[in-house]
Amino acid sequence: MNAEELAEEILANPQMGRILEGALLERADLSNAYLEGANLRWASLIGADLRGAWLTGAWFTGAWLTGADLTEAELAGADLAGADLEGADLTGADLSGADLQDANLHGADLTRAYLTGANLTGADLGGADLRRADLRRADLRRADLTDAIFNRTYLLREAGANLTGAVGIYDWAYLENRRRNYREPDPEP
């Protein structure tokens, strides 16, 4: 069964999607799929379309999601520890309380993503787009934030974000001041 046929089976029979450990679902269309609590450990979802998918509490430990589209996906409480999400689109995704320890999010788009209380310990967020992301109470210990984009990001130490040992934030005072003084550009006529 190829990835497209497997994706069709999963969408037709949601119970089938509960155990997909090691499944090959590269470039599969699983947009709006209901896979709450699904086991997708070590699955290959490279370039998969998971826009709007319900993946709350799903297990993605060690999964490959490179270049996957997870726009507006529900991933609250999901286990993505050690997952490869390099270049993935997580715009507006809900990752609150998710475990992203040691995950590769290099170059990922996390614009408007909800990462409240997420575990990002040791995660690679180098070059990630975190504009308007909510990182309150997020654990970013030892995370790599080199060249990450932080415009209007909720990343306040007083809101509980833990940045102990994080690299790539060279001047916390500059980042805080930039956040406070940011002004939306005037609309073009």
Residue 179 included in any domain: no
Q: Determine the structural domain holding residue 63 and report its residue range.
A: 1-166
**Could you report the per-residue pLDDT of 102-160, keeping only the tens digit for each?**
999 999 999 999 999 999 999 999 999 999 999 999 999 999 999 999 888 877 555 67
Q: Residue 186 above 60 pLDDT?
A: no
Contact 5, 30 (CB under 8 A): no
- For residue 63, the one-letter residue type is A
* Stronger pLDDT, 130 or 11, i.e. the higher one: 130
How many Cβ atoms sit within 10 Å of the Cβ of residue 89? Answer: 22
Residue 36 included in any domain: yes
Q: Where residue 78 sits, what CATH number does that domain have?
A: 2.160.20.80
Residue 187 included in any domain: no
**Could you report the per-residue pLDDT of 52-71, keeping only the tens digit for each?**
999 999 999 999 999 999 99
Residue 173 included in any domain: no
Can you say how many angstroms the Cα of residue 21 is from the centroid of all Cα atoms in its chain? Answer: 20
Instruction: Read off the pTM.
Output: 0.85
Q: How far apart are CA 91 and CA 114, in angstroms?
A: 9
Q: How far apart are CA 4 and CA 1, in angstroms?
A: 8
Mean pLDDT score across all residues of the chain: 86
Q: How many domains does the chain have?
A: 1
The pLDDT of residue 173 is 45
